[in-house]
Amino acid sequence: MWLILSAASWAQSVSLETTRFPIQTKVSMVLEITPGPEGFGPGDVVLVDEPVYHGQRNKWGWLSHRPSDICEPLSRDFDAASAGRVDAVAPEGVRVSVLHSEDSARNHEPGQILVTIEEGTLGPEQLLRVLLGTQEKGGDCGWQTPARAHEKVPLKVSYWPASADEAIEIETLMLAFEAESEIQAVSVTMASQAQVGVQQWVRVSPLDRLGNLVQGEDVLLIPHTFEQEGVFRVPVDAFGESLWSNPVRVTQEAPAWGVFWGDLHTHHGHSYTAEDGSWVDENHDYARDVMGLDFGCESVKGDPIEIDSEALWESVQRSCAQYSVDGDYLALLGFEWMGNDVSGHHNVYYESCEGPLMEQELPGLERGLWLRMEETMAETGQRMISIPHAPSFTGSDWEANDEVLRPVAEVFSEIGNSMEPERAGSVPEGLSAGQRLGFIASSDNHDGWLGNPMVSRNTPGGLAAILAPSLNTSELLGALSDRSSYATTGARILLELVAWEGEEPHAMGSAFLAKNTRIEWKVHGTAPIESVRLVSAGVGAQVSGVEWAAWQPAELDAQGSAQVPDGPQELAMWLEVTQSDREMAWSSPVWLERAESGEPTGCSGGLVGLLGVVGGLGLGAGLARRRRD
């Protein structure tokens, strides 16, 4: 059955045999275009706009008007889209030409296919066929469909008469892409903290090999109520498997703080207005409903890198406002400043859902990005922070220092691990240079699906764990400002680190005057814990990332302690956890200041300390912390 769509103001029509296609395959979409009563004559042009996914066209495949030698096999490497071919077929006696306005794999330029009538005339009942992907070279010339099961992707078709000054839209077809039907993984998640006797929900999501919700399956929500205090994993039998949830800390009273999970760094998703006028952001739907995250951010790249940056920024602000519900899920507003050869990339986050998309061409951190942030904060009255992204891979500036504007670093993403001290620009190198940075991780996947565990480069994607008393944007940015966070490669590992100076506890992220410090830790894994390392960076030292102590628990739950005596050098110390499944976690550091280094910057009675009870090892155990409100 053919789908016929017509514009009321023009008699032309466009038909497409189907508007639904499988993900990640080569297809040939045959558009059949019927002229109106006046027909198509020499010089008339039919235009087809290639879809744009939040700032990029054809993220997964592109079309060329060149001969079939340009065609490539299906690409499973999302960094390299495969080429297909576009062509047109006209009735006998009519000659047409086909041109692609951006005949290359460049994704940040819009692509438009132009089919021009060169000779002859198409009558009102004749068909012009535009082949978006052809069957040449065994199908290699087909158009590669996306890897994500998007709905309502617009494919705009327009007509430009030779006698007119501008093109007129004929119709915008809405395409959809269907996930695979085979389950490759099942995600089982729930909140990391719970109260005895209060019902919780276990979220069970069947995923295909690319992380889409499997075609024809739904997310299961299973109620569960804990009956006693402790740390537990909930067993689940679903989709033919026996599974376990992430570890959950259960308390007798309502939890005074939470470990909230999110992905603060993705790109190029998809959103649209539904038939009922509601706004649908598939990226946040996926994060909240499929992966059970608490917060997420699609960090648009600085202006004007993305296609139609202004409209895209308006849409992510709209998603921030409509998807953010305190206590449920937060869609943060942020962008990625791509830096320069010296500064490295930084993601910038707003405390509200309104703020400008800053220009990419800024002259550096202190003279450019941070100055613009300070001006914007003064104008809008809101807090902002910047987070260096993958400094071992995008560049770093460890001479510029601002603990308020840059309190944490993204230490892991699908690009790689910036905690490896041998890499130039690593985060341990920055700590030795005197930076005081907490740690987060995020995916940096380029499909927009926040928290996708099967990310585009087939590497762990990274998640940020943020410790806060409640889930709202102000508390989240406050916790990041306090370095009250830790990083994982995607597993929801519970990690605790406390530094005791005598009877005074200090949480990760704190700095304190140290003489004879005891570091205590607890880890509750999602798989057996293979190793736990206490690692240090000497401030001012040439060597960073030195192992201070190590343990090999080989258990799901482990704890330990180590003594750190007085010494001549200030130390940043953190915990590195490796599980048997190679998932990892890193606590934010504590800073052990020495008497000769000056007054300590930490202060007792911080936010988490006010919420806890002094004396026990735990994230709410009377911890000293700074607060930058």
365-388 confidence digits (pLDDT tens): 999 999 999 999 999 999 999 999
Please give the full DSSP string across 276-331, using - where no structure is assigned.
Answer: TS-EEEHHHHIIIIIS--SEEEE-EESBTSSTTHHHHHHHHHHHHHHH-BTTTBEE
The answer to whether the CB of 478 falls within 8 A of the CB of 468 is yes
Q: What band does 571 get if pLDDT is binned at 50, 70 and 90?
A: very high
Answer whether CATH 3.40.50.300 is correct for domain 3-178.
no
> Within a 10 A sphere around the Cβ of 162, how many other Cβ atoms?
12
Choice among 51-60, 438-447, 504-513 with the minimum mean pLDDT: 51-60
572: tokens are 């940043």
Q: Where are the beta strands (DSSP E) in 299-446?
A: 300-301, 330-331, 334-337, 346-350, 384-388, 408-413, 416-417, 438-441
pLDDT above 80 (res 606): no
CB contact set of 70 (below 8 Å; sequence gap of 6+)? 64, 83, 85
Q: How many CB atoms lie within 10 A of CB 235?
A: 12
Give, as one character, the DSSP assignment of residue 139.
G
Q: Give the DSSP letter of residue 429.
A: H
Whether pLDDT at 517 is above 70: yes
Does position 613 have pLDDT exceeding 90, yes or no? no
Dihedral sign computed on CA atoms, order 356, 360, 365, 368 = negative
Q: For the domain 256-490, what is the CATH code?
A: 3.20.20.140
According to the model, what pLDDT value does residue 608 have? 44
273, 279, 412 from 276: Cα distances, Å = 8, 9, 40
| Mean pLDDT computed over 429-457 | 90
Residue 78 has what pLDDT?
A: 62
Provide the pairing of β-strand 555-565 with 571-579.
Answer: unpaired
pLDDT tops 50 at residue 5: no
Task: List, for residues 467-494, the tens digit of each pLDDT value.
Answer: 999 999 999 999 999 999 999 999 999 9
* pLDDT of 234 higher than 50: yes
Residue in this structure with the two tokens 């202004």, named with its chain if needed: 310
Mean pLDDT of 93-112: 94
**Rounded mean pLDDT of 75-79?**
71
Angstrom distance (rounded) from CA 215 to CA 71: 29
CA dist., res. 453 & res. 464, Å (int): 13
pLDDT of residue 11: 56
pLDDT band at 615 (very low <50, low <70, confident <90, very high): very low
Higher pLDDT, 274 or 460: 274
Output the pLDDT for position 409: 98
Side-chain-side CA neighbours of residue 148 (13 Å): 27
Condensed to tens digits (0 to 9), the pLDDT of residues 272-320 reads 999 999 999 999 999 999 999 999 999 999 999 999 999 999 999 999 9
Average pLDDT for the chain:
91
User: Can you tell me the distance from the alpha carbon of 358 to that of 351, in angstroms, rounded to the nearest whole number?
Assistant: 15
- Work out the average pLDDT over 170-193: 96
DSSP state of 584: E
Q: How far, in Å, CA of 567 to CA of 548, rounded?
A: 13
79 or 623: which leads in pLDDT? 79
Q: CA–CA separation, 331 vs 448, rounded Å? A: 13
Longest pairwise C-alpha distance within the chain? 93
Taking domain 492-600, whether its CATH number is 2.60.40.1930 is answered by: yes
Question: Which DSSP helix (H) or strand (E) runs through 519?
Answer: strand 516-538
What whole-number distance in Å separates Cα of residue 622 and Cα of residue 47?
65
